[in-house]
Structure 1
Amino acid sequence: MGKKVTAADVARVAGVSPATVDRVLNARGGVAKDKEARVLTAARRLKLDRALDLRAARTLRIAAFLQPPENPFHATLAQAFANQNKGPNPYNLQTKVFYVGPEDSPAEMIAKHASSYDAVIVSQPQDTALVSALEHLAKAGTPVITLATRVIAKDVIHVGPDDYRTGRVAGELVGRCLGREGGSVLAIAGHLSMAGQAARYQGFRDVLVERFPRCQLLPLGESRDSGPRAAALVDSALHDHPDLRAIYNASAGTVAIADLLKRRGLAEEVMFFTHELMSERRALLSEGVLDAVLDQDPVKEVAIALHVIADAFGRSPLKVDTTEPPVRIYFRESL
């Protein structure tokens, strides 16, 4: 029979004192995050307890900075975090959601709250102050995840699809649905200050230019995630281009656009494509007002982000396979 592994063995492998091992494995707290991660990793490596109960470790507190829930996608993200808090939660993580409104500074809100949390998740438009705040946290050893919306910053992990490639898929879908005759196409972004939105539009445009020359892309609209503004952009496009054949809405405002098309009697004339299979978009797809929805599964994205954080603290026996969830296309017959 092999020699029984002791706390001293774990301490030696982890490079900490036996007292630190005792504090971590018995959830007494007061241990730096990096040391806690090293102890848990060493304990598993030495098979101190094959069924090491992650729930026994102290609760890791995570701050998630999202856009207001008026944006359906961010409302879904927030609900996914709430469900994770209440679910099996094997990694013992608890997430607090902070909503950052259009008049708020993400960097200032993060600076105000982040020091009280073990990790930070962000889904916000890119700006210089935000990049600086995230890089400061990452340099100090705090795991930082950008979720769904990429912020280009050093030592930050992004969880979400490849937006440029997703845009190309959307362009291919629209171009093929319009067929050989093509026609006028209106694309609407939410906030072009979001790197993902800009990349998505670029991919969409590139495919239409490369493969579907009969599709004429109208000037890009920016809704700023406002439903009324998105509908107004469509209304203006229909006035200037009564032959409009397709709308690609890459952000919020889908319901407002659908209502406008139905009022105008154009729901069956103008093809309509959007992202994220929320309940109201599922209904519009079933009704035939939406022709297709590209879905990146925000619930899955939240699960991946939490897995990445658990892994950073040595709480997951399995490595994260990918931080890029697949994008799926749904038609009415997919429901």
Structure 2
Amino acid sequence: MDKTDRRQRMADVAERAGVSLSTVDRVLNERGSVSDAKRRKVLQAAQALGLKRLLPSAVHGLLRFDLVLVDSTTDHFKRLAAAFARQAQMHRSRLVLQRHTWQERAPQQLPELINHPKVPRQGLIVVAQDTPQVREALRAQVAAGVPVVLLTTSLPELAGTRYVGIDNHVAGRAAGRLMSQWVRGREGRVVLLTNSLLYHAHQQRVQGFLEVMAEQAQHVEVVGPIECFDNDDLNATKMNKLLQQGQLCGLYSTGSGSAGVGRALARQAQRPVWITHEATAAHAAMLREGLLSLVLDQDPEGQAEAAIQQLLYANGDLNAPPQVRPQLRIVIDETLEEPHSMSVLT
């Protein structure tokens, strides 16, 4: 490629990135000072246009990613936190992962953490409820050039963000398909318990489950969704009340709080089919006992790896889009060898 062609290609990059030609030259040749946001735009434009040269990193020094998780003691978030700790250790020569938590009883903390980072960030990973305040805060981050990854639960039609997680609508439909087969010929109601419906993931699971039950199990009444907010005591109270009201043939719980459900079901001579989420040691014990029928797992370890890779790619540290995808996994008692073993259905 001659000098004229190279200059035209750089001009194309400048136009796509919305910066001057001199800014493109400084970024690609690492001369002078350019803000991280502009560097990122130039490198993203160069990648999109297929510029055939070794591209520099979008940021000088260590990348700083903010990880914003809900303050939850559920097994899913424990596994997620451990997985991110391993990723941070693995990539310690390139990035600093700054962990923050927000409390569900104080939802205003989430937009505050998004809007006001303690130090400049080059990426944001967040588990977020779907509220106008959260959407506004995330739009501002995208507008500022910060790559945003939504973890575990998506926010539909929020441009510029990347969702990392399983297809929760498919997960709900899978639960509905399996439940409809199990309860065929059985009498009673099917209960649908969920966490807060402010999380789009739980909205999608509920929707998918109800769709399939309406299609394939019209003979049973579905009670719910009942929000129990991953609370063991609330789950136990709700289940005890429902069991007193009549026979249950099925139960799908889209979130946590299984210890409470287990307390209620353990006293029943005839137990309903029970489908829930996450492969954990506690659920493995319930599967072996016959209290729990099946578990859907959303692969938090895969989510953590994919989220970090997405941000590294957005910052120009990976030359190709990440290939890691979290997998929806199905666990039954027959596949258990270790507490966290699981069977993947494709």
TM-score normalized by structure 1? 0.84
Q: In structure 2, what is the equivalent of residue 135 of structure 1?
A: 139
Q: Give the 3 Å change call, closer, same or farther, for CA 82–309 of structure 1 in structure 2.
A: same
Whole-angstrom CA distance in 2 between matches of 1:141 and 1:69: 29
The equivalent of 2:300 in structure 1 is: 298
Q: 1:98 is paired with a residue of what secondary structure?
A: strand
**Residue in 2 that maps onto 1:209:** 214
Tell me the CA shift for residue 328 of structure 1: 1.6
Letter in 1 for 2:274: F
Aligned-pair CA distance for 1:317: 2.5
1:180 to 1:311, Cα distance in 2 relative to 1, 3 A = same
- Structure 1, unpaired ranges of 5+: none
SS at the partner of 1:248? Answer: strand
- Indicate the residue corresponding to 1:98 in structure 2: 100
Number of corresponding residues: 320
Pair 231,30 (structure 1): closer, same or farther in 2 beyond 3 Å: farther
Pairwise CA distance, 1:45: 5.2
Distance change (3 Å), C-alpha of 1:72 and 1:304: same
Partner of 1:59: 62
Alignment partner, residue 17 of structure 2: none
**TM alignment of 1:139-150, pairs within 5 A:** 139-150=143-154
Whether the 8 Å CA contact 2:305–2:324 is kept in 1: the answer is no
- Matches for 1:161-200 after TM superposition, within 5 Å: 161-181=166-186, 183-200=188-205
Partners of 2:332 and 2:96 in 1: how far apart? 36
Q: Say if 1:76 and 1:298, in contact at 8 Å, map to a contact too.
A: yes
2:159 match: 154
Q: Which of 270, 275, 279 is matched with 2:277 structurally?
A: 275
Q: CA deviation at 1:128?
A: 0.7
- 1:39–1:135 CA distance, 2 compared to 1 (3 A): closer
Identity %: 23
The 1-side partners of 2:268 and 2:60 are apart by: 59
Show the 5 A alignment for 1:253-332: 253-262=257-266, 264-266=267-269, 269-321=271-323, 325-332=326-333
Structure 1, 268-277 or 39-48: larger mean CA deviation: 39-48
Q: Is the alpha carbon distance of 1:194 and 1:19 closer, same or farther for their aligned partners in structure 2, counting shifts above 3 Å?
A: closer
Q: Which moved more, 1:313-322 or 1:64-73?
A: 313-322
Contact 1:63 1:95 (C-alpha < 8 Å) held by counterparts: yes
RMSD of equivalent CA atoms: 3.2
Q: Deviations over 1:235-290 (max 9, x none)?
A: 1111112x11221111110122113322x144x62221101112322232233221
Change (3 A) 1:57 1:285: farther
Shift of 1:126: 0.8
2:121 is matched with: 117
Partner deviation per Cα, 1:164-209 (whole Å, 9 max, x = no partner): 2211111111111222335311110100111221121011011111
Give, in whole Å, the separation in 1 of the partners of 2:188 and 2:235.
Answer: 20
1:34/1:177 CA distance change after superposition, 3 Å: farther
Partner Cα distance (1:124, 1:84) in 2: 21
Q: Which residue of 1 aligns with 2:87?
A: 84
Please list every run of 5 or more consecutive structure 2 residues that lacks an aligned counterpart in the other structure: 15-20, 337-346
Specify whether residues 219 and 17 from structure 1 end up closer, same or farther in structure 2 by C-alpha distance, changes over 3 A only: closer
Partner letter of residue 327 of structure 1? L
The answer on whether the counterparts of 1:175 and 1:215 sit within 8 Å (CA) in structure 2 is no
Q: Is the 8 A contact 2:40 2:314 kept in 1?
A: no
Alpha-carbon separation, structure 2, partners of 1:204 and 1:114: 41
Which one-letter code corresponds to 2:64 in the other structure? R
Amino acid paired to 2:111 = A
User: Alpha-carbon deviation of 1:88?
Assistant: 4.8
Contact 1:68 1:75 (8 Å CA) reproduced: no
1:234 alignment partner AA: M
Which of the residues 67, 72, 78 maps onto 1:69?
72
Q: CA deviation at 1:309?
A: 1.1
Letter in 2 for 1:272: W
Quick check: 2:24–2:42 contact (8 Å CA) kept in 1? no
SS at match of 2:292: coil
Change (3 A) 1:295 1:17: closer
